[in-house]
Structure formats: C-alpha cells, structure tokens
Amino acid sequence: MFVVDDLLMAPARGLFWIFRQVQQAAQEEMVTDAESITAELSALYMRLETGKLTEEEFAVEEKRLLERLDRIPRRGKAIG
C-alpha cells in the first residue's frame, strides 16, 4: 500500500519541490538586490564626501535608492 501511495504522491511532491526552489531563488535575488543597493548608497555617500556630487544631486539619488530598498520587503511579501 505504501508503494502505491508513494507513486501517487510523486507528482505532487515534485511540484512542491519546484515551488520551493522558485521561492528560494526569489529570496536570494532580493538579498542580492538589497546588498547591491546598499553598496550604491555607500558609493553615493563617498561621492558626496569627496565633493564629486552636490547636495541636491545626492538628495535625488539617495531618495531613489532608498525607495528601491523600501520596495524589497513588499516584493518579499508578494512572493512568500
């Protein structure tokens, strides 16, 4: 009886495995995106400190990057 159950459940288990893999890949992508944005923010602060960027340019770029960073958790809720 257990062999028959295993055979009947194999397609469902395969689908669940695929869904878990897709979710894991999406979560890894979100982490990578957050790290990338954080690195961009760091570079932006460095450009401000070295005078290669005005305060106004800095404010615009910082706002854009922080908005991107804020959207990441919302994407995660949609995925998870």
Domain ranges within the chain, ordered by starting residue: 2-79
51-72 pLDDT per residue, tens: 999 999 999 999 999 999 998 8
**This prediction's pTM:** 0.67
H helix intervals, 1-80: 2-49, 55-79
Q: Which of these ranges, 5-9, 44-48, 60-64, 66-70, has the smallest mean pLDDT?
A: 5-9
Give the Cβ contact number of residue 7 at 10 Å.
Answer: 9
Name the DSSP class of 80: -
Taking the CA of residue 53 as centre, how many other CA atoms within 13 Å lie in the half-sphere pointing to its CB?
16
What is the rounded CA–CA span in Å between residue 17 and residue 6?
15
